[in-house]
A and B are shown apart, each in its own frame.
Chain A
């Protein structure tokens, strides 16, 4: 199945990537080339197969029900978390005005 320019623009918008007309014109055929190639997967009979969910069988663990059980991922790390923010104000991430 071939995707047209409008579809590429829609995907780019879903992915929140701004694209110029020139980029859309260039990406369209590239994406079509890749999609046409992956379509060969349709030849495989998978009617009796479950999709893979875990590559190595593993059980999910629960962590101990303790506050700040791991100091690296626990609380009270506000300044560390904000240290790389492009804009940090009053202990929060700064963003452009969202509510009119």
Chain B
């Protein structure tokens, strides 16, 4: 029998259902892999008992001949941004250290209802603010990948870096991620796995620690397009507790997967050919076009004229929303309280927030506070929201000429930890190709394409029309089948 930890979501689900192995055997195998991999620092807390009891429940159901659920017997990693009842939920921050939610987020509950279990809570950039997983209060996450000929610790991407590291190192068959401006797609690309951010509103935000509410979307990260389709189906769905939740049925994405793209048009945005983009990334993009053409699609040139303004607009809108969302951390209702001797209420707020937030979080709260302050609101915030309208309109016009857009996910492959951490702007530029789809709320996915000459994975990005996750998944599947990406990091942890 193949090693259980090499199996993905679909193979585990089907294997448990057919009796090839038990859910408990699967949970035990992954619990052991997680326990061995402390050096990756992918988990903030591990929850082997949760995984085992979910597995036992599935095995018991099977013994009784009951339905096992769409994720029956599949243990997953949960990004530590989702509230999990009775299990510490920190957003990788000091200010929420020790916080044990009294309720379960809708997305995690949906997954448990579908038969999944939890291996642990995954590390991330603090409050999901970062692109390299270097802003966590609980330490950097390491990618399992190494540059050929170097032993330097590499970034797993961010903010869902614990998720990407765990899935690519086979500590979990799949994990949840969240994407505000690329936080699922960029880490997926850096570690050679798949990740999809659905249309804004598909997955409930209830119980997800808020960063920028008009952008935050949860999605799955896994090693195949099929596994992403299965898990997204389990995560998504209307939730009356989230005012922006889409009141629509969840399509059966898995059943409708098809890599036949005959009659489909794939748009290539000319503005994504930017200065400073790595030659090998451009080569992978060319290869991606070939693969999609081979799958029957027609390649067409499109224009997204406001692309260069998307990232600066994002760095106004997201910090503005963050400064408002993070006002709730005040040392009164939950989390850390720092009350200096003789301090009043206002001093307590300021001391708690000084102590509880990391530098990048403070930086974004300050930017957000500034752009929302009297006298600057129109020049910064209103202007950014107008540019956001233009970015969104660019996509509307492009989708009049094509069905799905193909682009690189990131401008470079993964970089060593510490390489960009002193320069916030250089770090932000990592998300230059990911942010436009976030601003427009569109479904977007990264799939692994190839290894570069350093032996590091490169991802390709697919962006679809609103509500057309199927089109994105199908084009992703066409690439997956042709890329035949089966490289694995060599185990050193």
Contacts and interface: CB of A to CB of B under 8 A. Distances in A.
Interface string B356-380: 0100001101110110010000011
B33 interface: no
A54 B339 CA distance: 39
Interface string B52-70: 0000000000000000000
Contacts of B339: 96
A58 B244 contact: yes
Contacts of A31: 363, 366-367, 370
Contacts of A56: 199-201, 244, 246, 441, 466
A97 B344 contact: yes
A67 interface: no
Nearest to B389: A52
B420 interface: no
Interface in A1-43: 3, 7-8, 11-19, 27, 30-31, 33-35, 37-38, 40-43
A82 to B, nearest CB: 8
Interface in B419-452: 424-425, 439-441
A11 B366 CA distance: 6
B346 A30 contact: no
Given A56-B201, A61-B243, A51 B386 contact: yes
Contacts of A80: 102-103
A30 B343 contact: no
Given A72-B241, A84-B99, A55 B392 contact: yes
Given A16-B346, A50-B389, A52-B389, A41 B366 contact: no
Given A31-B370, A51-B389, A56-B200, A44 B241 contact: no
Interface in B353-411: 353-354, 357, 362-363, 365-367, 369-370, 373, 379-380, 382-390, 392
B345 interface: yes
Contact of A55 (B103, B200, B313, B425): B200
Contacts of B485: none
Q: How many B residues touch the partner, as a band?
A: 35 or more
A58 B246 contact: yes
A56 B292 CA distance: 28
Contacts, number: 170
Contact of A35 (B102, B367, B466): B367
A81 B103 CA distance: 10
Given A31-B367, A34-B315, A93-B332, A52 B241 contact: no
Nearest to A16: B349
B336 interface: yes
Nearest to A73: B241
Contacts of B387: 41, 44, 46
A55 B369 CA distance: 22
B19 interface: no
B201 A58 contact: yes
Contacts of A58: 201, 244, 246
Given A34-B425, A56-B441, 14 more contacts: A8-B366, A33-B424, A35-B370, A38-B313, A40-B312, A41-B316, A41-B384, A44-B306, A52-B386, A55-B388, A58-B246, A84-B102, A86-B331, A86-B336
25 contacts: A3-B370, A15-B323, A15-B365, A16-B330, A17-B365, A18-B353, A27-B362, A27-B366, A40-B309, A41-B316, A41-B383, A41-B384, A49-B389, A51-B385, A51-B386, A52-B392, A55-B215, A55-B392, A58-B246, A61-B240, A80-B103, A83-B100, A86-B335, A93-B332, A96-B339
Interface of B: 99-103, 199-201, 214-215, 240-241, 243-244, 246-247, 306, 308-309, 312-313, 315-316, 323, 327, 330-337, 339, 343-351, 353-354, 357, 362-363, 365-367, 369-370, 373, 379-380, 382-390, 392, 424-425, 439-441, 466
Nearest 7 pairs of A and B residues by beta carbon: A51-B385, A55-B441, A86-B337, A84-B334, A46-B386, A80-B102, A18-B354
